[in-house]
């Protein structure tokens, strides 16, 4: 068994394959190190030093490079700088508690809604933001007044005009003149009188017919007896 292993290792083809594999791995580490250090720094000396460490130390040199290389690439470093600048600029500004407008820390009033941004603490007389619930210097809680509701006036009922007297006469001046109200009232009175006369005449006729029948009834009885 051991003899077969020794003979396999001693074979020239196997040795060539192993040497080729190690060389390819070493070359791949060198290429990867060059691209990686180029993305992390623009200094040519750092690039050459990193490649030299990996070339002389192989796997051990590659491990040393991973420990000593810069933590961020140039693009990541630029992004972090931009983020830091944004955070710094935002830290210099506050927001108004009324209109949420961005205001600077040294502003005493909001330039948009004229709200007073700072007030004195009743305990330590320090200037604190009006939107804070407690003083950060002495810990005293603030009583934030609620916004006053606008006074609502009671609505008065609508006054309905009351007509106490009806005008006796209504006339329209100009074209399309309408007849006066007295004409219609006179006509209505005449029609009512006519109806009353007709009703009285009918009642009189009906009463006369019944009275004649009552008078004729005893004579008719005597004629029947005779």
Torsion (CA) 30, 32, 37, 42 in degrees, nearest 10 = 90
Residues 61, 111 within the same domain: no
pLDDT in tens, 193-205: 777 778 887 777 7
φ and ψ at residue 183, rounded to 5 degrees: -65, -45
Does 210 fall in a domain? Answer: no
Residues 56, 23 within the same domain: yes
CA distances from 211 to 22, 29, 163, 203, 215 (A): 154, 148, 53, 12, 6
Residues 21, 55 within the same domain: yes
The mean pLDDT value for 142-150 works out to 59
Give the end of a domain, one of 105, 122, 146: 146
Does 69 fall in a domain? Answer: yes
Does 66 fall in a domain? Answer: yes
- The mean predicted confidence, pLDDT, of the chain is 74
Give the end of a domain, one of 83, 118, 146: 146
pLDDT above 90: residue 32: yes
Give the HSE-up count for residue 13: Cα atoms under 13 Å, Cβ half-sphere. Answer: 1
Residues 108, 63 within the same domain: no
Residues 136, 108 within the same domain: yes
Of 2-16, 126-140, 212-226, least confident by mean pLDDT is 212-226
Domain count of the chain? 2
Does 6 fall in a domain? Answer: no
Does 52 fall in a domain? Answer: yes
Residues 70, 22 within the same domain: yes
pLDDT at 52: 93
Q: Are 71 and 58 in contact (CB under 8 A)?
A: no
Residues spanned by the domain of 100: 92-146
Does 181 fall in a domain? Answer: no
| 126 Rama sector, left if φ>0, alpha if ψ -120 to 50, beta otherwise | beta
Residues 69, 110 within the same domain: no
Q: Which residue has the higher pLDDT, 64 or 210?
A: 64
Does 160 fall in a domain? Answer: no
Does 209 fall in a domain? Answer: no
Of 33-42, 93-102, 116-125, least confident by mean pLDDT is 93-102
162-175 burial: b if 16+ Cβ within 10 Å, else e: eeeeeeeeeeeeee
Give the end of a domain, one of 43, 74, 105: 74
Residues 26, 67 within the same domain: yes
Residues 66, 110 within the same domain: no
> CA-based diameter of the chain, in Å?
182
Residues 70, 96 within the same domain: no
* Angle in degrees, 0-180, between the axes of helices 12-40 and 74-91, rounded to the nearest 10: 30
Distance of CA 167 to the CA centre of its chain: 60
Torsion (CA) 84, 87, 92, 94 in degrees, nearest 10 = 180
DSSP 4-28: HHHHHHH-HHHHHHHHHHHHHHHHH
């Amino acid at each position: 068994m051991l003899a077969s292993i020794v003979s396999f290792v001693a074979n020239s083809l196997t040795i060539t394959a192993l040497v080729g594999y190690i060389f390819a791995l070493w070359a791949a580490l060198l290429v990867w190190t060059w691209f990686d250090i180029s993305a992390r720094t623009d200094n040519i000396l750092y690039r050459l030093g990193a490649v030299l460490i990996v070339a002389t130390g192989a796997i051990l040199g590659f491990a040393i490079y991973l420990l000593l290389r810069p933590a961020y690439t140039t693009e990541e470093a630029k992004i972090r700088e931009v983020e830091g600048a944004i955070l710094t600029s935002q830290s210099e500004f506050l927001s108004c508690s009324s209109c949420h407008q961005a205001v600077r820390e040294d502003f005493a009033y909001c330039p948009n809604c004229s709200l007073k941004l700072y007030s004195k603490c009743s305990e330590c007389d320090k200037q604190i933001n009006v939107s804070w619930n407690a003083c950060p210097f002495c810990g005293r809680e603030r009583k934030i007044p609620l916004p006053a509701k606008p006074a609502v006036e009671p609505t008065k009922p609508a006054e309905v005009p009351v007509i106490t007297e009806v005008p006796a006469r209504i006339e329209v001046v100009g074209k399309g003149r309408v007849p006066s109200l007295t004409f219609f009232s006179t006509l209505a009175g005449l029609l009512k009188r006519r109806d009353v006369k007709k009703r009285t005449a009918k009642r009189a006729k009906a009463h006369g017919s019944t009275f004649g029948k009552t008078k004729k009834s005893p004579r008719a009885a005597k004629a029947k007896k005779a």
